[in-house]
Each structure stands twice: as structure tokens, then as C-alpha cells.
Amino acid sequence: MKMASNRVCSRSGFWVAFLVLLGSSCSEGQMVPAVFVFGDSLVDVGNNNYLPVSFAKADFPHNGIDFPTHKPTGRFSNGKNAADFIAEKLGLPTSPPYLALIANSSRSNSSSPFLTGVSFASGGAGIFDGTDEKYHQSITLTEQVDYFFAVHENLVQHMGSSGAQKHVAKSPFVIVIGSNDIFGYSGSSNTRKQHTPQQYVNLMASSLKDQLKVPAFLKISLTRSFRNSEFLWQRLHSYDARKFVFAGLGPIGCCPSQRNHNKTATCKEDTNSWARMYNAALLAMLKGLKSELKDISYSYLDTYTVLQNFIRNPSAYGFTEVKAACCGLGTLNAKVACLPISKYCTNRRDHVFWDLYHPTEAADRILIDKVFHGFPQYAYPMDVQQLAAVEA
């Protein structure tokens, strides 16, 4: 990861003022002022480390074995994850975990610690706040957005209202979430009785749309099971968010935990079907949303097709193992999670999956290579690099 100081906007007081004057100018090689990340464990870079009670943590071996420090970081990976690679390609350091910045903050700082972005992503989170209602082990999506409001206020304090508005409007909001909602649907017979798969995924997608565009004084009536972050995207939009990166769901029925449901270790096709249904609903929602909110731009990432290509034609991407997890115990290394007592493979580059649910660093690196630029079949209506270049 390139973190050299000449690739990021300086944090000194002089340059904060300079940023305000130039509308968040950035150093050479840096495409955007900042990256704000929301989501689940696929892009969590350590927020859950700071939760007082949570089993959804990755701050222990063998996680992080291939990270530059060779130590666990809170990423559910052997090394870097998708959030790291997106930031790297945009010429920025990885957006640090919000809870880490707060824990280590100093009131005497002359500049904002959030100038190049921040991550609110939390392992276990879902679109619906009730996704983690049983264990309360994650930062809900509502809380993630509330934390962003505090960040926005901090930026206003340091840059002024106009400077903060320009800074945020030029910065992409990366949203990687939804897998846990599908897993929750799969594991809840009550939910499946109440909602057909199509109804459920439509509710997931329509929630995002309604929350982005409805007036703040209105209320959305949702069943108690699906309490979520009311007016989530409307609130982000009202706080100057204009560029969005929405990642579709991958073929999550093919991750080792789901293959273990079948004696033949084949993919769990009902789960994959629901993921595809959600992706179609999300993409349709985004197309409609753009026609209603003219000032937003977005990139939809077809992660399903990219990861499916890894699984169907692994040798083309340098993989030899697409079923088993690298780290774990039992059948497919998926009976027991990646814990210090677990065994792990010697060549992580061969594996698509690191643990029961998450891709390896190698898989994430290739995934972001495909969706970032140069492969229009994997990003709609523009790729991430093109989104970064959109004037805001």
C-alpha cells in the first residue's frame, strides 16, 4: 500500500486552509480528497477491535499473516482487503477505522484526522439494523451513518462549511453490505414464511432508495423485524454525499460455510439465487434513483460475475482451490472458523477463500483490479476511476 506523504493531502494547519481555498485540491497521484467506507466484514479494517463485547472480531492469528506487519489487524483476511485496494488505487492511505481514531484522538489536534477518509465498516452489520439484533456484535448501519455526521461536523470545524461541502462531495462513499441480510434470511424460517425471496430482496433495495430520497420529516413504516437506518441515504445526501460505490453481492452460496450444507460440497444455489435477485433489485433501484436525484453519481460493481469467474475458471486467475477455506478446521476447513487453534494453508495465493466467508487477499486484489478500471462489463454505468473523475 502506498502511503508516502507526497501522495496525500497534508494535514498541517496551513494545508487545511489551502484545501478550503482550492476546494479540496489533492497531491499528484491522488484522485479524490477522501474515501468514506460503510459496510460489513468484507471491508472492516479494525472497527470491531474496539467493541467491548463481540465475537465478530479478527484481531488474533492467523488473520493478518500476510499483512505488511504480519500481525492481525481486525481484517477478516490473511492480508489486505477490498477497502485497502480501493484506497490504494485512488492514491490514498487506507481509510482508518473510526473507532481507532476516536480512541486515539487528541483535542489539541490542529487539523482533522478525517481529511483522507475514514471507515465505519463493521463485521456482522447488515442493511437492516435487526440483522445483528440477536448478538449486537457489530456497529449497525444506523450507527455507522451517525458516526459520519460527527466526522462531517469535525470537517466543518476545520475547513469551514463550504470547504467541507466540496471535500465531501468529491469523495466516494463505498458501500459494501447485504451478505449478512441474505444469510439471515436463509437461516430464519420465520422470515421466509413472512416474505418470499423476491419480497425480501426488494425490501433490502427499496430501503436504501427510500432512505436516500424521502423528505426527512416523513417516516417509513417497516415491520419490527426489519427496523433499519431510517432515511439512511437521504441523510448521507443531506450531508453532501454525491459519489457512491455500491458493491453487489458475490456468489455467497459458494463460500465454504455454505458448501458445507451439501454433501457434495457444491454451492448452495438458493443462497446464490437470492444474491442475484438482490443485485438485480439494487441495480434497478440505482438506475431509478439517478433519474430522481440528478446530482449523484454512482458505480455499481458486479462482484458476483468476477468471483464466479474465479470459481468456474480458477487457473485463469492463478487459483487452484475454490471450495475449501485456507484457514479453519474440519470439512473444507469450514467446520471451525479461523482461530489460533486452526490450521492454515502454506500458499494463500492458491485459495479464493481465506476462511468460512471471506476472500483471500489475492482474490480481493484481482477483484478490485477488475472493477476499478478497464473492464466495463464489471462496473455500471462507470467504473471507480471514472467516478473519481466526475466533477462534483
Task: List the catalytic residue out of 24, 40, 41, 77.
Answer: 41
Per-residue exposure over 73-112, b if at least 16 CB sit within 10 Å of its own CB, e if not: bbbbbbbbbbbbbbbbbbbbbbbbbbbbbeeeeeeeeebb
Known catalytic membership, residue 195? no
Quote the CA–CA distance of 218 and 372 in Å, as a whole number: 37
Known catalytic membership, residue 351? no
Known catalytic membership, residue 350? no
Q: Is 302 helix (H, G, I), strand (E, B) or coil?
A: coil
Quote the CA–CA distance of 387 and 169 in Å, as a whole number: 12
Q: Is 158 helix (H, G, I), strand (E, B) or coil?
A: helix
Task: List the catalytic residue out of 44, 129, 355, 364.
Answer: 355
Half-sphere exposure of 258 (CA within 13 A, CB side): 24
CA-based end-to-end distance of the chain: 27
Length of the chain: 392
Quote the CA–CA distance of 98 and 76 in Å, as a whole number: 17
Task: List the catalytic residue out of 129, 195, 358, 383.
Answer: 358
Q: What angle do CA 169, 390, 127 make, to 5 degrees?
A: 55
Question: What does each C-alpha distance from 103 to 100, 113, 117, 122, 217 come to in angstroms?
Answer: 5, 12, 16, 16, 34
Residue 5: exposure state from Cβ atoms within 10 A (0-12, 13-18, ≥19): exposed
Contact 92, 1 (CB under 8 A): no
Active-site residue list? 41, 355, 358
